[in-house]
């Protein structure tokens, strides 16, 4: 019966591609809409980790204390454009309000429970799209330069453990044994042995879309300008002047979801945490697994094309100009960590879709049960895309979702 039901998915990032494939798995007829190549945006340049341990948000009571030094130091992974923040104060005020201890504990609990479902969402897609070769299970390591950094992270790591993360503590000799090419004598670390990472995040999106097309799904290379709805159907207005009719639409355009007309204004609470990477081609042999220099705010991940140093947070809006200070910061840290060529071969900027409470938006829109939302996955979109797709497909199919999604409803912003 579902094969008669047409669902349009706006956005072919990892979240949209995962929703599209899960919807197809339920038997729906699916059209994926994006003006760009699948996975060409934020989903291409991330650190690649399936971060099922990643329940600790950027929001934290500690951030409030560290904010002045983080903002005014030249050696910081966090930067703000004051002009942008002052002209968009709402998001930042709410973000800071969500740094209060009780709020943060709630976020950790909710993210922890959702992250525990990561592989329920991801595994079926990897099998369906024949994409297991793009996933490496070599673990993941957090490193700390000294005992003081390690001790400062203890409360957060304790909470990770309470949410079900398994890791062992490392000393300097353990770290040297596991990653002998690291130049910095990191004194303490954590090893998350069961963690996987994606060797080419953009290729993963492409693999999902290849599978969608093989199974009679469609890819429309158009920008969705607006969504109109009436009882039983939706129309997606495209930038070639045409309109696509569907029974339902899933909005999965990442940080850009709020730009689509017909999306209610409360979603203006969505903004972007810009993130960067520098990549050194053919240097991936220097590390076995992703290594996160926790205090410095980035990951070094061995990928198919090279060694990628990805992370940092910049609040500066949606323009495409790379901030040379951030690129220089990442390049400097990369050179401090490992023996690398002078210049990276790739410098990249992406737009994490982030709500001020660090929770994704998954569920029916507030205006119509024919419009579903799947965005706002902040630092965890690659990890949570699969389970988001599964939940969206269950909702579209009229099933009780297999995970409680009430906290992720857009209604929380009303
Ligand atoms: C530096 C960095 C490191 C990261 N590391 C990790 C990590 O290790 N693990 C992890 O889980 N996550 C990580 N993330 C987060 C993750 O990359 C994002 O959460 C995820 O890519 C968001 O995916 P998305 O599909 O929602 O958005 P996007 O990838 O931005 O995709 C949105 C798509 O929508 C399309 N679009 C926009 N507007 C329209 C429109 N009007 N009509 C049609 N299409 C439209 C765009 O072209 C784009 O293709 C990282 C992010 C960054 C920046």
Residue 310 in contact with residue 201, Cβ under 8 Å? no
Q: What is the rounded CA–CA span in Å between residue 278 and residue 303?
A: 12
The Å distance, Cα 111 to ligand 1 centre, comes to 18
Would the pLDDT of 7 be above 70?
yes
Q: Please state, for a pLDDT cut of 90, what percent of the chain lies above it.
A: 88
Q: What is the rounded CA–CA span in Å between residue 391 and residue 377?
A: 14
Per-residue model confidence (pLDDT) at position 62:
79
The Å distance, Cα 196 to ligand 1 centre, comes to 19
Would the pLDDT of 74 be above 90?
no
Mean per-residue pLDDT, 353-370:
95
Q: Mind listing the domains of the chain with CATH numbers?
A: 2-43+202-268+358-413 (3.50.50.60), 56-101+135-195+270-354 (3.30.9.10)
Residues with CB under 6 A from ligand 1: 10-16, 33-36, 40-43, 46-49, 51, 223-224, 252-256, 260, 275-277, 310-311, 350-353, 375, 377-383
Which of 12, 114, 256 to mutate for ligand 1's pocket (most ligand atoms within 8 Å of CB)? 256
Residue 172, C-beta contacts closer than 8 angstroms, at least 6 positions apart = 185, 186, 187, 188
The Å distance, Cα 1 to ligand 1 centre, comes to 32
Q: What is the rounded CA–CA span in Å between residue 249 and residue 260?
A: 12
Give the pLDDT confidence of 206-240 residue by residue, as tens digits.
999 999 999 999 999 999 999 999 888 899 999 99
Would the pLDDT of 90 be above 70?
yes
Per-residue model confidence (pLDDT) at position 305:
97
Per-residue model confidence (pLDDT) at position 42:
98
Q: What is the rounded CA–CA span in Å between residue 321 and residue 210?
A: 32
Cα torsion 277, 280, 281, 287: sign: negative
Which of 12, 278, 381, 392 to mutate for ligand 1's pocket (most ligand atoms within 8 Å of CB)? 381
Per-residue model confidence (pLDDT) at position 67:
78
In this structure, the chain runs to a length of 414
The Å distance, Cα 177 to ligand 1 centre, comes to 35
Per-residue model confidence (pLDDT) at position 64:
78
Residue 241, C-beta contacts closer than 8 angstroms, at least 6 positions apart = none
Q: What is the rounded CA–CA span in Å between residue 86 and residue 99?
A: 19
Instruction: Read off the DSSP letter of residue 296.
Output: G
Per-residue model confidence (pLDDT) at position 188:
98
Which of 238, 330, 352 to mutate for ligand 1's pocket (most ligand atoms within 8 Å of CB)? 352
The Å distance, Cα 150 to ligand 1 centre, comes to 31
Q: In a 3-state reduction of DSSP, which class is residue 204? A: helix
The Å distance, Cα 15 to ligand 1 centre, comes to 7
The Å distance, Cα 103 to ligand 1 centre, comes to 25
Closest CA to 43 of 288, 371, 384, 393: 384
Per-residue model confidence (pLDDT) at position 32:
98
Per-residue model confidence (pLDDT) at position 1:
55
pLDDT band with cut points at 50, 70 and 90 for residue 3: confident
Per-residue model confidence (pLDDT) at position 71:
74
Determine the angle formed by the axes of helices 14-25 and 381-396, rounding to 10 degrees. 30
Greater confidence, 75 or 402? 402
Q: Please state, for a pLDDT cut of 70, what percent of the chain lies above it.
A: 99
Give the pLDDT confidence of 10-65 residue by residue, as tens digits.
999 999 999 999 999 999 999 999 999 999 999 999 999 999 999 999 988 878 77
Residue carrying the six token digits 């993360």: 165
């Amino acid at each position: 019966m579902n094969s008669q039901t047409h669902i349009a998915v706006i956005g072919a990032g990892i979240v949209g591609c995962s929703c599209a494939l899960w919807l197809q798995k339920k038997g729906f007829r699916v059209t994926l809409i994006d003006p760009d190549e699948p996975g060409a945006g934020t989903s291409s340049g991330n650190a690649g980790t399936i971060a099922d341990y990643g329940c600790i948000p950027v929001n934290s009571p500690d951030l409030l204390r560290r904010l002045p030094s983080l903002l005014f130091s030249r050696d910081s992974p966090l930067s703000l454009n004051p002009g942008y923040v002052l002209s968009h104060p709402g998001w930042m005020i709410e973000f800071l309000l969500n740094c209060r201890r009780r709020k943060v504990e709630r976020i950790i609990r909710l993210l922890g429970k959702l992250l525990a479902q990561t592989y329920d969402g991801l595994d079926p897609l990897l099998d369906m799209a024949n994409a297991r070769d793009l996933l490496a299970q070599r673990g993941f390591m957090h490193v700390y330069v000294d005992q003081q950094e390690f001790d400062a992270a203890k409360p957060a790591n304790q909470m990770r453990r309470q949410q079900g993360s398994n890791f062992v503590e490392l000393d300097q000799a353990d770290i040297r044994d596991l990653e002998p090419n690291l130049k910095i004598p990191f004194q303490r670390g954590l090893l998350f042995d069961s963690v996987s990472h994606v060797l080419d995040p953009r290729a993963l999106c492409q693999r999902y879309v290849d599978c969608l097309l093989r199974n009679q799904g469609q890819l429309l290379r158009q920008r969705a300008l607006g969504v109109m709805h009436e009882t039983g159907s939706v129309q997606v207005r495209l930038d070639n002047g045409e309109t696509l009719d569907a029974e339902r639409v899933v909005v999965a355009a990442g940080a850009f979801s709020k730009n689509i007309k017909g999306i209610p204004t409360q979603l203006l609470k969505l903004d972007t945490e810009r993130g960067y990477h520098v990549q050194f081609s053919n240097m991936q042999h220097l590390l076995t697994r992703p290594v996160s220099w926790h205090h410095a705010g980035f990951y070094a991940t061995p990928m198919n094309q090279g060694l990628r140093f990805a992370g940092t947070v910049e609040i500066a809006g949606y323009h495409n100009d790379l901030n040379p200070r951030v690129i220089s910061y990442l390049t400097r840290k990369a050179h401090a960590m490992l023996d690398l060529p002078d210049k990276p071969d790739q410098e990249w900027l992406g737009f994490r879709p982030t709500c001020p409470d660090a929770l994704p938006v998954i569920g029916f829109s507030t205006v119509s049960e024919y419009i579903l939302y799947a965005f706002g996955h902040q630092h965890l979109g690659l990890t949570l895309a699969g389970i988001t797709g599964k939940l969206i497909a269950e909702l579209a199919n009229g099933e009780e979702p297999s995970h409680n999604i009430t906290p992720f409803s857009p209604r929380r912003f009303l």
